Amino acid sequence: MTDHLSETEVSLFRERTMGPAERERIDSHVAECESCLRRILPAEDTALVYSELTEALLPGSADEPFHLSNAEIRAYANGSIDQADRVIFESHFEICAQCREAESLAASSPVESVSSSAQQFSPSWSAAFQFTPARVAAGVLVAACLVLAFVVWLRWHSRAQDQTAQQASSQTPSNTPGSGSPTPAQTQSTKDSTDQIAIAASLEDNGRKIQLDNRGKLNGLEELPEATRSLVRSALANKNLSKPEVLDKLTAPSITLMDPAARENTFGLLGPSGTVIATDRPNLRWQALAGATSYTVSVFDADFNRVTSSAPQTATQWTTPALRRGMIYSWEVVAVRNGQEVRSPVAPAPRAQFKILEADKLLELTSLKKHSPISHLTLGLTYARFGLLAEAEGQLQIVARENPNSPVATKLLRTVQEWRNR
């Protein structure tokens, strides 16, 4: 057994770039070396090739065994055979004890002894020399190797071409500059891209741009909570605000008094009234009554129970003690003029009511104010949702000034102003 094939020899054999003599040498080697055979052929072909080699060199159980002739053994012993026959003979010696013994005798005895010893194994040596089973097996083996090697090369070449074609196809653009009009797929892709960037509403807000596209995606307030972003998204999409239910509880339609004398004996309350306030110590303000010498303020809960009141005073405003958050209160002022009491409000005028903002909502507003830059739009909409109308109007006025040509900004501001004037 010779040394195994080198990597260069394996590569040249696969690429079929070696000369006939070198290929014959490698064919002879792989005929007896399963290891090199597995290296030069893909894994899926190795088992098939090895099986055919075994069938070519080993007789089946039903076949008559054959032996080398005297002339063949003598030629092998004298070294007068070519390389191909030597490979075949040595392969046969490995599986045939009788011929191996005859070859040993031929190597150690004269020619005559070899002839007489080998004669018993092959009487018709002359005819066998011209056409022997060993030569037939060798021919089949060489032909099988060549055919299988060619098939393997074709498979490898076909796979290489397929890979090259796939790479070229993946790198080829679907619409080259000279291909004319865009394909339907490209047209749809362009349309989808246009739809994505279509802007439904856009506002400047304290140095940033807030935009809502036609698919409902809001850009410009990514750092804010989703609940707040949803409030902004709804206002920009609908271009309107939903009035908080609490405002309806705090307001009632006013009634105009027809008697001029009745109007002379009244004075108005400036606020807070009909709104929600953030502080729990509201500052109550009213108009001065001509000729009044003092004013007394009283605050009532929702059940008309007096919860606090002021001492008589000459000022037209008073700050209450701390009140409970989340509660609705009403208030009135009694003025003293010429020794007589003048009350405001008085029927049929509605009660002056306000609500103290809940603690959790106050915390939400405080959190919004910590973002930099402050979003006046977000603050204005949140104030409006909680019913703090004065604060909402102030923030939306800033937005309207930043967007003088925006119908959305103008409508949002006017909506809050209408709530305050009712």
* Chain CA centroid to CA 15, Å: 45
Q: What is the pLDDT of residue 422?
A: 74
Residue range 311-336, pLDDT digits in tens: 999 999 999 999 999 999 999 999 99
Other Cβ atoms closer than 10 A to 309: 15
Side-chain half-sphere exposure of 324, counting CA atoms within 13 A: 9
How do residues 159-216 score in pLDDT, each as one tens digit? 666 666 666 555 544 444 444 555 555 555 555 555 556 888 899 999 899 999 888 8
In this structure, what token pair is assigned to residue 94?
């490995």
Q: Tell me if 305 sits within 8 A of 278, measured CB to CB.
A: no
CATH for 247-356 is 2.60.40.1220
Fold: same for 197-238+360-422 and 247-356: no
Give me the residue spans of the domains in the chain: 7-155, 197-238+360-422, 247-356
What is the token pair recorded at 65? 């065994």
> Do 331 and 352 meet the contact criterion of CB atoms below 8 Å apart?
yes
Answer whether residue 415 shows pLDDT above 80: yes
pLDDT above 80: residue 374 = yes
Is the whole-model pTM more than 0.75?
A: no
Confidence of residue 239 (pLDDT cuts 50, 70, 90): confident
Q: Which are the contacts of 208, defined by CB distance < 8 A and separation ≥ 6? A: 220, 373, 375
Q: What is the pLDDT of residue 187?
A: 56
| 34, pLDDT greater than 50 | yes
Is-contact 219 233, C-beta < 8 A? Answer: no
pLDDT of residue 195: 53
Residue 284's beta-bridge partner residues? Answer: 318
**Domain 197-238+360-422 coded CATH 3.30.300:** no
Instruction: Give the pLDDT confidence score for residue 253 in this predicted structure.
Output: 61
Round to whole Å and give the CA distance between 274 and 355.
8
In whole angstroms, what is the distance from residue 185 CA to residue 173 CA?
13
* Pairing outcome for strands 352-356 and 275-277: parallel
In this structure, the chain runs to a length of: 422
Split at pLDDT 50, 70, 90, the class of 393 is: very high
105: helix, coil or strand? helix
Q: How far apart are CA 79 and CA 342, in angstroms?
A: 146
